[in-house]
Amino acid sequence: MIIDCHGHYTTEPKGLLDYRKRQTAAYDEGRALAPDFKVRDDEIRESIEKNQLRIQRERGVDLTLFSPRAGGMAHHVGNEITSRDWTRACNDMIHRVCTLFPDNFIGVCQLPQSPGVDPASCIPELVRCVEELGFVGCNLNPDPSDGYWTGPPLTDRSWYPLYEKIVELDVPAMVHVSTSCNPNFHHTGAHYINGDTTAFMQLIQADLFKDFPSLRFIIPHGGGAVPYHWGRYRGLAQDMGRPPLSELLKNVFFDTCVYHKPGIELLVEVIPVENVLFASEIVGAVKGVDPETGFNYDDTKRYIEAVETLSGAAREMIYSGNALKVYPRLARRLR
Amino acid sequence: MIIDCHGHYTTEPKGLLDYRKRQTAAYDEGRALAPDFKVRDDEIRESIEKNQLRIQRERGVDLTLFSPRAGGMAHHVGNEITSRDWTRACNDMIHRVCTLFPDNFIGVCQLPQSPGVDPASCIPELVRCVEELGFVGCNLNPDPSDGYWTGPPLTDRSWYPLYEKIVELDVPAMVHVSTSCNPNFHHTGAHYINGDTTAFMQLIQADLFKDFPSLRFIIPHGGGAVPYHWGRYRGLAQDMGRPPLSELLKNVFFDTCVYHKPGIELLVEVIPVENVLFASEIVGAVKGVDPETGFNYDDTKRYIEAVETLSGAAREMIYSGNALKVYPRLARRLR
């Protein structure tokens, strides 16, 4: 079985996107606008069948853990209520996809974060998605300011009430930034990768997992710069008197959204196979076909297949075994 | 010959550091304090002989391109005059090292950047360092706000007068951030690497090198996350209708400050050997000994020696041939 742990609904029906435009216009006029739009099942079916489902089938992927468009979370927009309404709309849309295609998609939720707002405000939506909608994980934005990093690090105690609920529900969090309003940071080319690198270094500096031994984070995009600079991170941890990185790897996992074979080779050489989860982030940051290979850049399964040093058992762990451990609610659903 | 293109004076004499403390205290009281300190030659000799020079000799490195401590630039501190005085003090200290050890160190200057101040204000100090002190390059901070990225990207036209002078003097710029005031970003573990990644993506998005065909940037720390995500960057450039990355590589170079062998292997597999310059950044971010190898993490020469796919000619380019092309004033000095 092949599980892609990182897919986004980037082909949303027009009704959802129109609602967002009307919602932000209303906010600018000082009003909130709760979700009021209609999308037909056949619109959803078409948006999925022509895109994510087609690609799943072409590449031989069985199941995608599916969440709202990451760049669309845009937590900096509006206020707490704006974020709550928008998040609910996006998560409901994911739920409809998962209901229409129960064999192919399982939900992962967006959280209604908002800059300067207590992360505990996300708890009701998290509980709703996991307990009522059957979602198996959440995406956690380490920078709700979307490119200015004005909030505290992920290890700050202000996040703790949210982590307590995440642990209680036994769902992992993928640490995933959203769009960038900062002209210095291209969103998928800089902000995403920087967010991954930044989060990992924050985890080195603090004792978050002493306080939450069963909290699990997935760092997407192959862990940002971390595996490439594994020696730097090992050395920094050592110089700072922090525990060896193997300790962090009890709680931190990397996905395989690295879009060329040498990168995937490095990832699986440096990071223990137990900590690597298959993913491709379709339909995502890079959509084109690599003229050097004739295949899509984001067809990460091909790179994993081509790594000669991986045993069949190791590939099986990357493709599904690790995901079933990191997402226990997924394992229960599949049984 | 082995040239390390990235070394910092991180073992500065006490007089310089004391001056900085007094200078910032004076700024807090509303006064400027021009450099007024004395450091004896034997203090400088000792600080270098016991550290950078000892390590050079132990590792068989011939020459280091030497610049002030990167984290110490701290361009966010004070105002334009604070930065000008401090930069002059730091560059003068580098000049004294290079005068005392002319066979081992050649100068690269810090620039007196300051948030919100026209980068053209850096021109007099750049000219002084290159024309009067014999420096062969400069360090350019893409984020003078030191962790909040409040200024424009490197491709903004506000940088152009400075680039015109850099081109006229025929010196390259290493794109190197300084300290981080943002608690989200550990300075050497996140801000440095993010700065490298960010700068490269900015260069993909714009036509800077059409306007300055002979401008040369070195992106340190092995190019941040870029080589590990080379497929992502190739794909993003393609999707955005930008030129292939091979075009950028006429002007952009990466150093070898990657502190483990798999990272160095990836770097030289993915990036053309013409674009890779030897460096170790001593005495720098990571000072410890790797218990897995018994050698210092930052002993990057060992990793390069151990990469079996590199020919002798390729190693020679990485060790010195490329540096002599990228730093023509260095080549002239050595002739």
Q: What is the DSSP letter of B228?
A: T
What pLDDT is attached to residue A187? 97
Among the listed residues B298, B216, B228, B309, the one whose alpha carbon sits nearest the alpha carbon of residue B257 = B298
Calpha distance B7→A335 (Å, rounded)? 57
CB contact A147 to B (< 8 Å): yes
The residues of B annotated as belonging to the active site are 281
CB contact A307 to B (< 8 Å): no
Which of B183, B234, B260 is facing A230, going by the closest CB pair? B260
Measured between beta carbons, which residues in chain A are less than 8 angstroms from residue B228? 222, 225, 227-228, 258, 263, 266
* CB < 8 Å from A in window 1-20 of B: none
User: Is 0.85 exceeded by the ipTM?
Assistant: yes
β-strand partners of B8: B67
Measured between beta carbons, which residues in chain B are less than 8 angstroms from residue A259? 229, 231-232, 234-235
Among the listed residues A104, A107, A191, the one whose alpha carbon sits nearest the alpha carbon of residue A144 = A191
How confident is the model over B151-162, as a mean pLDDT? Answer: 98
Share of chain B above pLDDT 90, in %: 99
Interacting residues of A125 by C-beta distance below 8 A, sequence separation 6+: A84, A87, A88, A91, A109, A111, A112
CB B244 within 8 A of CB B235: no
3-state helix, strand, coil in chain A (%, to 5): 50, 10, 40
Residue from A157, A229, A238 to probe the interface with B (highest B Cβ count within 10 Å): A229
What pLDDT is attached to residue A146? 98
- pTM of full prediction above 0.90: yes
Q: Quick check: B231 and A260 CB within 8 A? A: yes
Measured between beta carbons, which residues in chain B are less than 8 angstroms from residue A204? 186, 189
Interacting residues of A3 by C-beta distance below 8 A, sequence separation 6+: A61, A62, A63, A64, A65, A278, A319, A320, A323, A324, A330
Residue from A260, A267, A302, A303 to probe the interface with B (highest B Cβ count within 10 Å): A260
Mean pLDDT of chain B: 98
* Tally of CA atoms within 13 A in the half-sphere of B140 that contains its CB: 27
CB contact B263 to A (< 8 Å): yes
What pLDDT is attached to residue B68? 98
CA distance A332 to chain B (A): 34
CB contact A180 to B (< 8 Å): no
* CB < 8 Å from A in window 23-62 of B: none
What pLDDT is attached to residue A255? 98
- Return the number of other C-beta atoms located less than 10 Å from residue A83's C-beta: 26
How confident is the model over B128-135, as a mean pLDDT? Answer: 98
What pLDDT is attached to residue B215? 98
Cα torsion angle, B319, B324, B325, B330, sign: positive
β-strand partners of A3: A63
Which of B234, B239, B290 is facing A231, going by the closest CB pair? B290
Measured between beta carbons, which residues in chain B are less than 8 angstroms from residue A155? none
Q: Quick check: B228 and A235 CB within 8 A? A: no
Calpha distance B295→B302 (Å, rounded)? 9
Q: Which position has the token pair 């998609």? A: A105
- Return the number of other C-beta atoms located less than 10 Å from residue A316's C-beta: 15
Measured between beta carbons, which residues in chain B are less than 8 angstroms from residue A197? 190, 193-194, 197, 225
* Residue of chain B nearest A238, judged by CA positions: B288
CA distance A21 to chain B (A): 25
Q: Quick check: B266 and A266 CB within 8 A? A: yes
Residue from B192, B203, B229 to probe the interface with A (highest A Cβ count within 10 Å): B229
* Residue of chain A nearest B223, judged by CA positions: A225
Measured between beta carbons, which residues in chain A are less than 8 angstroms from residue B255? none
* CB < 8 Å from A in window 239-258 of B: 239, 258
CB contact B111 to A (< 8 Å): no
What pLDDT is attached to residue B168? 98
Question: Binning pLDDT at 50, 70 and 90, where does residue B10 land?
Answer: very high
CA distance A258 to chain B (A): 6
How confident is the model over B96-102, as a mean pLDDT? Answer: 98
Among the listed residues B194, B204, B319, B303, the one whose alpha carbon sits nearest the alpha carbon of residue B252 = B204
From the candidates A247, A281, A292, A305, which is the catalytic residue? A281
What pLDDT is attached to residue B39? 98
Exposed e or buried b for every residue in A2-33, given b needs 16+ CB within 10 A?
Answer: bbbbbbbbbebbebbeebbeebbebbeeeeeb
pLDDT per residue of chain A (335 residues) written in tens, 0 to 9: 999 999 999 999 999 999 999 999 999 999 999 999 999 999 999 999 999 999 999 999 999 999 999 999 999 999 999 999 999 999 999 999 999 999 999 999 999 999 999 999 999 999 999 999 999 999 999 999 999 999 999 999 999 999 999 999 999 999 999 999 999 999 999 999 999 999 999 999 999 999 999 999 999 999 999 999 999 999 999 999 999 999 999 999 999 999 999 999 999 999 999 999 999 999 989 999 999 999 999 999 999 999 999 999 999 999 999 999 999 999 999 99
3-state secondary structure (DSSP) of residue A307: coil
Measured between beta carbons, which residues in chain A are less than 8 angstroms from residue B175? none
Measured between beta carbons, which residues in chain B are less than 8 angstroms from residue A248? none
Which of A153, A184, A228 is facing B228, going by the closest CB pair? A228
pLDDT in tens, A114-126: 999 999 999 999 9
Over its C-alpha atoms, chain A yields an Rg (Å, rounded) of: 19
